[in-house]
Amino acid sequence: MLGGKAKVQRENHKTEMFDIYAHNLKIQVTLDANITVGNGHRLFEENDMARIKQIIFSDFFDTLTNGALVLFAYWYIYKVTRDQGYISLLGLISMIATLFTFVGGYLSDKVNKIYLLKTVVGIRVLNTILGLAIYHLFDYPILSVMVTVVINSVLNIVYSPLTESIVPSIVHGKEDLITANSWVSIANQLSSVLSAGLSAIFIFFGNVSIGLVLSLVLYVLSYLLITRLSIEAKAGKKVDVTSLVAKDANKFLIGMKIIRKNFLISVIVPVALVTNFCFWTVWLLMPKLSIDVFSGFTYMYNSIDLSFTVGSILGAFAVNVKHKGKKIFTARNFPYFLLLQGVMILLIGLFSLQHREVFGIVGVVISWLGYGICNSIGSILYFSTVQLSVPSNHIGMVIGAILTIFSLANPIAAITSAPLSHITTTPVIIFLLGTVMMLASVPVFFKKIRIQLSQE
């Protein structure tokens, strides 16, 4: 989705443990043709406002469709094949693609952003048509949906950084940008919730052809919303890709040096790697759990996704709750939310072992809601602490280095989820991974760390 530094992973709308999930929403704007703040100061020229609305609505439909199609693909492929290897492969491709978003950042700086946006969304339309062609010409539904999802993952290498940078290129002024980002955040949250509902419609039909046709309609709508945008913005900067990579590598190394010297950050790195590995392994096992364990409830996978997303949104709002003028949650609470994430995963495993299916379904869904809340609050508290513990001119480099390090565990989780699924039952694997997450949080409770957290 369009947005600032906090965003949902586009492929599956999930956060890693330490992703900053959401903005603080302080929307004090009137969304009409003459948007005003406070005393009636006009923020946007009408033309700029119209362009931004078109882009946001286009991105809303694009991200909504992409998220729903991925959920449906995971569900359908496992339902037909009962092979966790396919799910691991799709997850691995998605996670590797996110490591190359710097290439998309380079392109979005070099090429006119409106032109590039039209091109990427247009390719999504053609890609969906290709998937339909494979389905009808070769009668191979699994191949058709996999090709569509994989190509979309590759397109996200460009799409993600492009949509992050396109609004700032149109908006002028700090207040204007804050207002535009508030719209973006609302659209982000809405599309995250609705993608689970849309995927439920796909699953209701249970047919790849119907799913791709519905996706095609929405992708075309996304394209039509931006097709009349004039490409009048100034061309992107000419940037040498070699120098760009060298510059990014240098920033990463500087960030690493700061991390090594910062006790509060460096001690969390191994904890985060273990936690991210456990989370992504569990998440990639959800299609298998939904179909093998909760076969009586067709929409279990959608319910899990929706519950996690809603929990993450609630957590982002809860972190700002105040009592007697002071925020309830502060950095010193971070260890508890880290521990609770492991507890929630453990509970998911326990509820999955219940022989009473309804009780198990409710328990798993509520546990994912709880995980989303704890994940969101913990992530925001941690990164806020990091921002306060490093020099302001190094925050970007440090955050970039941290997220890069934390994400290293994700492809490993994708690779290992398939072999793990052959060792024992899915509920037992999830229970054990939840236990590992809880144990991994123990070092964060050490006195030295808690004292430092209390000081931030």
Cβ-contact 173, 12 below 8 angstroms: no
* CA-wise closest residue to 22 among 5, 37, 39: 5
User: Residues near 248 by Cβ (< 8 Å), separated by ≥ 6?
Assistant: 102
pLDDT of res. 421: 94
The reported pLDDT for the residue numbered 240 is 56
Please provide the DSSP assignment of 369-418 as one string.
HHHHHHHHHHHHHHHHHHHHHS-GGGHHHHHHHHHHHHTTHHHHHHHHHH
Q: What is the pLDDT of residue 452?
A: 79
How far apart, in whole angstroms, are the C-alpha atoms of residue 21 and residue 375?
Answer: 9
Rounded CA gap, 422 and 369, in Å?
28
Q: Which element (helix H / strand E) includes 271?
A: helix 268-284
At 322 the three-state DSSP class reads: strand
Phi/psi region, residue 13 (left: phi>0; alpha: psi -120 to 50; beta: rest), is left
The pair of three-digit structure tokens given for residue 248, joined into one six-digit string: 């990014």
Please check whether residue 33 is in contact with residue 215, taking contact to mean a CB–CB distance below 8 angstroms: no
**Interatomic CA distance for residues 396 and 157, integer angstroms:** 20
Cα four-point dihedral sign 178, 245, 66, 406: negative
DSSP 8-state symbol, 37: E
Q: Which residues contact 126 (CB under 8 A, 6 or more apart)?
A: none
pLDDT tens, the chain, 456 aa long: 443 333 434 444 444 444 433 333 333 333 333 333 344 444 445 577 778 889 999 999 999 999 999 999 999 999 999 999 999 999 999 999 888 887 887 788 788 889 999 999 999 999 999 999 999 999 999 999 999 999 999 999 999 888 888 877 777 666 667 677 778 878 888 998 999 999 999 999 999 999 999 999 999 999 999 998 877 544 445 555 566 566 666 766 777 777 777 877 888 889 999 999 999 999 999 999 999 999 999 999 999 999 999 999 999 889 888 766 777 888 889 999 999 999 999 999 999 998 778 999 999 999 999 999 999 999 988 888 877 777 777 776 777 778 778 888 999 999 999 999 999 999 999 999 999 999 999 999 988 888 877 766
- Phi-psi region for residue 241, left (φ > 0), alpha (ψ -120 to 50) or beta? alpha
Helix axes 113-138, 46-81, angle to 10 degrees: 30
In the chain the domains, ranked by start, together with CATH numbers, are 1-239 (1.20.1250.20), 262-456 (1.20.1250.20)
